[in-house]
Structure 1
Amino acid sequence: MTTGVDGEDPEAVPAEGGVRLIGGRYELAERLGEGGMGTVWAGLDLLVDREVAVKEAYVTDRQPRVERVLREARAAARVNHPAVVTIHDVVMEDGHPWIVMERVHGESLATLLERETILPEREAARIALSVVEALAAAHDRGVLHRDVKPGNVLLGTDGRVVLTDFGIAYIEGEESLTRAGEFVGSLAYTAPERMGGRKPGPAADLWSLGVLLFQMVEGWSPFQRESVEGTVAAVLTTEAPTPRRAVGLGPVIGELLSKEPEDRPTAERVAAALRTAATAPEETTEPGKPDRPRLGRRRVWLAVVVATALLALVPLGIVALRDDNDTSADGGSSRRSARPTATSTPSPTPTPAPLPTAATGYELVRTGEFSVQVPTGSTRHDKNADGQYRYTHEDGYELIVVPGRDRAETSSDNPVDYMREYEPELQPFRDSAWATSTGIRLIETRSRTFAEGQFTWETADARAVYVRNMALLVDGRYHVVAVLGPEDQRETVSRIYEQVVITYEPDE
């Protein structure tokens, strides 16, 4: 096994049968992924019988490397958001740290792009929306991710999108671990201000998101070149090409890839534009290979000369994190070839439009108390005595919406406590003799505070029901959204839930 520690393979404490045991409770299984910063293993927390992913961090005798690993855990643990990987524990074993985190079943965005090359705009917007919300939550907590790229975005089989690997994150108020003249990051996704040695802010992460969006819809990375010098030159001197396949996302991509940080949109504006694109009617695009405009030889040579001159004037010790073998909480790799691109001027981003017509497979409903998109063909039931609007589908799925029925002052002003102790829609979970929960999370964004949970219980007629649930606190009242379905149809339930959540709007 490769460990990066002087070529030696440290031995964890063996359990019975030769199984490796970390920290006396985490049993390691197969290797999920490996990269420049560490190896990720599938694991089992024997104490609570929970699947986990365990990152064996590569360290040397240099203390700053150990501190960087611990900072990674602190940075991720500081951000409480469903689109940010959850850190459970940090264990010191064999003289170096192991990070224990949630196990996300699925694949990385890098793996998906390697297989599909191009994603539909709606799917790209859905993925990017989760990423920008995760970044906004991190920025609110004083954390800059600094390594947003396909290999660090996980796509769960239940439709969840998770930003992972805070290995080079910066935490506000903490001393920098990067030495003067040293650069750490993935060059093709790094903002110009970081590449040029300026102090980055949240806008640097949004630049990386712009590169990510471009690659998802166009099928190639706009600044990746065959050499380090070429990539640096492209980031510093080449204007972002105009997307040719993106109908709705082109303007926001153009603004995100503005060279100057102050010209980029805020996370809120990006999220609004992505939410609109994620719920827009599906556009049909002609199949074919991705368009890759190319620079002439003279322009490429000029860019390399400019970059080389900049590198000579400002000594830059570049530690480029490898993009061909990224580590994630569930494995995944990304392999890219150079794609020289043409120069163009980004288009301005218009003000996001109001909620559009419903996405394919959904219809928009308005009740006077809320608006939301529900699966096409659902049967609407009148508001009942419990304040519930119910939408049932012949395939066995059900949506329950309860707008503003319960006051925080008569239950709890903490959405997690409300969901756990008071919410009537979860009473079957509390009463069931057989029930499980994957946990309740408190989610705080700039515009919303809500709790989110996943539950399974057995009904009186022995049916296993799976539920995704949200309790949103608005002006002192709780809005509840719950999607129910057969336990063996978790992926469909989750897909419906995600669409409902991103389109739910209480009426003022």
Structure 2
Amino acid sequence: MTSEQAEPGRSLAGRYRLTEPIGEGGMGRVWRGIDELLDRPVAIKELSISPHLPAREIEVLRTRMLREARSAAQLSHPSIVTVFDVVDSDDRPWIVMELVRGESLGTVLKRDGAQSPERVAHIGMQVAAALAVAHERGVVHRDIKPGNVLIAAGDRAVLTDFGIALLEGNSNLTSTGQLVGSPSYLAPELAQGGGATPASDMWALGITLFQAVEGATPFERATPMATLTAIVTEKVRPPASAGPLRPLLEKLLNKDPARRPTVSEAYEALAKAAGNAGKRGAASAMAQSPGGQDTPARPSEPGPAAAPSNAPVPAQGGATGRAALWRRILPVACGVAAVLAVIGAGLWLGSRTDEPSEAAPVEQSSTPEAEASEADESEPPEPEESGPEMTRHEDETGFALDVPEGWELERRDNGVFFHSPDGGYLQIDQTDTPGDNAKEDWEQQEGAISSGFDGYQREGIVALDESYLDAYVSAADWEFTFDGAEGRMHAVNRAFHTEDKGYALFLVSPEGQWEENRALLDEMTESFEPAS
């Protein structure tokens, strides 16, 4: 399967022509296009693949894309984006959808800030109505967020992006160790590795509405890992500007899923809070609530789903006031749905840390001496194998370090990645709000994070005292192994910080190449220079 993205003017199936990209996310692009047979505008979602993904991960993305089409196609409601067709080209699926002429709620909030409780309630009613139809048919969306709610003319709200939806009776399709969904909107039970249910969709709806009236999500932190930890461990701050929506928000954001309102109860509360705005759309919005009859697909002008949501990399979390630094540890991507996404994160891909002060290094140092003395009496020693050549990377954010030549640079929202030829990678994350003690912070976060990795096995969480780390306030490694898509993986998340800047070097390696990659991590850490 090619990873190259399409260009404007491309024709699919001799019928659909791409005109211009209108959105982009972890799984690919959304294009404005033309159905040349029916002469109507459409949205076309393109699946794009990173060249670094193994074959199994590529198949997961391909299957997820098809699931999105099937999930949305079986749901007919004015507040759910309509899927018209699925085209297979270049051995990858392309989804042809209704083109919604408008912008996402996320774009509205970014540009205009918090919205009035009445308007938010009116939008929320329509999303609740869409969820009612989905839940009745056994579909859990799993990624409710402002970016997946499109706002068209007349404040018509349309729910999009069923790419990670879970259909009743189908397998929970994720990459190995991956946390699915956008970290800020994940319910506590999902952040701890639980399964998705209608109640977890209701939590995400609550976070979305909270953000719409307050201007920010209640658990937003510097990294996904910190966000996930806050979701699990901290109380929801009371909304200050929610007005009539406050009682509903407090119920939707109950950490016990059994105590959250049903979608029908939420709809009734939203209609009441919306006042006249709600009355105008109430009848049509819930025309397909559970037990109701299907209504015609929708108004004439079709439109695009929001940019594909993804978590192609780490999962993260962190308690208030503690290091947001060590959060972005699980590239589930990775995710990393997102993840894991939990992130990226994610949630996300697994990792492990090394214990630098154990007996093994001592044994290794004594053995070469013995061998060397014997060799002196017989034949000249063979020349030592040298590691790969290193090249200096000076990052645009200010830090610098040496990396092996041949490791390919990739920039993502959740950090800088260097992909090694053996299938591993180094992820570098940073924060302006580091915690006081790297080791204690890793220990605090392990419980919430480890459940996101299949076959997780802790190797150790240890403070580091190497001389090349003397300039930092504290440093620690979290090492563990896990089951990756291509076999057993070994990883270490190395955290270190100054008074005002924290860094994490997250190394993931195939088990067979661990020793040499672990040695490279030490070399890269020793060469590291923080931003000034």
TM-score category (smaller protein): 0.5 to 0.7
Matches within 5 A, 1:78-227: 78-227=74-223
Give the partner amino acid of 2:13. G
Asked whether the 8 Å contact 1:237–1:303 carries over to 2, the reply is no
Q: Distance in 1 between matches of 2:236 and 2:275?
A: 26
Are 1:20 and 2:10 counterparts?
A: yes
Asked whether the 8 Å contact 1:147–1:185 carries over to 2, the reply is yes
| 3-state secondary structure, aligned to 1:182 | coil
Q: Distance in 2 between matches of 1:303 and 1:194?
A: 22
| 3-state secondary structure, aligned to 1:122 | helix
Tell me which of 35, 47, 67 is aligned to 1:71: 67
Q: What TM-score results when the alignment is normalised by the length of structure 1?
A: 0.54
Matches within 5 A, 1:471-486: none
Query: Cα gap change, 1:316/1:264 in structure 2, threshold over 3 Å: closer, same or farther?
Result: farther
What is the identity percentage for the equivalent residue pairs of Structure 1 and Structure 2? 45
Specify the alignment match of 2:20 in structure 1. Answer: 30
Give the partner amino acid of 1:247. G
Tell me which of 214, 227, 231 is aligned to 1:231: 227
Deviations 1:258-299 (A, max 9, x none): 1110010111110000001111699xxxxxxxxxxxxxxx96
Asked whether the 8 Å contact 2:15–2:37 carries over to 1, the reply is yes
Deviations 1:60-85 (A, max 9, x none): 64322211110010011111111000
Asked whether the 8 Å contact 1:37–1:167 carries over to 2, the reply is no
Specify the alignment match of 1:43 in structure 2. Answer: 33
Query: Cα gap change, 1:19/1:123 in structure 2, threshold over 3 Å: closer, same or farther?
Result: same
Matches within 5 A, 1:257-272: 257-272=253-268
Asked whether the 8 Å contact 1:233–1:303 carries over to 2, the reply is no
Once the two structures are overlaid, the 10-residue window that deviates more, 238-247 or 60-69, is 60-69
Q: Distance in 2 between matches of 1:103 and 1:300?
A: 41
Asked whether the 8 Å contact 1:146–1:205 carries over to 2, the reply is yes
Q: Distance in 2 between matches of 1:318 and 1:172?
A: 24
Deviations 1:400-457 (A, max 9, x none): xxxxxxxxxxxxxxxxxxxxxxxxxxxxxxxxxxxxxxxxxxxxxxxxxxxxxxxxxx
Unaligned runs of 5+ in 2: 279-317, 342-412, 415-430, 434-532
Q: Distance in 1 between matches of 2:234 and 2:124?
A: 24
Query: Cα gap change, 1:317/1:98 in structure 2, threshold over 3 Å: closer, same or farther?
Result: closer
- CA offset at residue 228 of structure 1? 2.3
Are 1:240 and 2:260 counterparts?
A: no
Q: Distance in 2 between matches of 1:195 and 1:143?
A: 20
Give the partner amino acid of 2:120. A
Specify the alignment match of 1:369 in structure 2. Answer: none
Asked whether the 8 Å contact 1:148–1:189 carries over to 2, the reply is yes
Asked whether the 8 Å contact 2:17–2:35 carries over to 1, the reply is yes
Q: Distance in 2 between matches of 1:158 and 1:216?
A: 18
Asked whether the 8 Å contact 1:123–1:278 carries over to 2, the reply is yes
Query: Cα gap change, 1:123/1:281 in structure 2, threshold over 3 Å: closer, same or farther?
Result: closer
More strand by share: 1
Q: What TM-score results when the alignment is normalised by the length of structure 2?
A: 0.52
Q: Distance in 1 between matches of 2:202 and 2:71?
A: 18
| 3-state secondary structure, aligned to 1:75 | helix
- CA offset at residue 19 of structure 1? 2.9
| 3-state secondary structure, aligned to 1:184 | coil
- CA offset at residue 246 of structure 1? 1.4
Give the partner amino acid of 1:249. L
Q: Distance in 1 between matches of 2:233 and 2:334?
A: 20
Matches within 5 A, 1:416-431: none
| 3-state secondary structure, aligned to 2:336 | strand
Larger radius of gyration: 2
- CA offset at residue 318 of structure 1? 5.1
Tell me which of 235, 249, 252 is aligned to 1:253: 249
| 3-state secondary structure, aligned to 1:41 | strand
| 3-state secondary structure, aligned to 2:85 | strand
Aligned Cα root-mean-square deviation (Å): 3.2
- CA offset at residue 157 of structure 1? 2.0
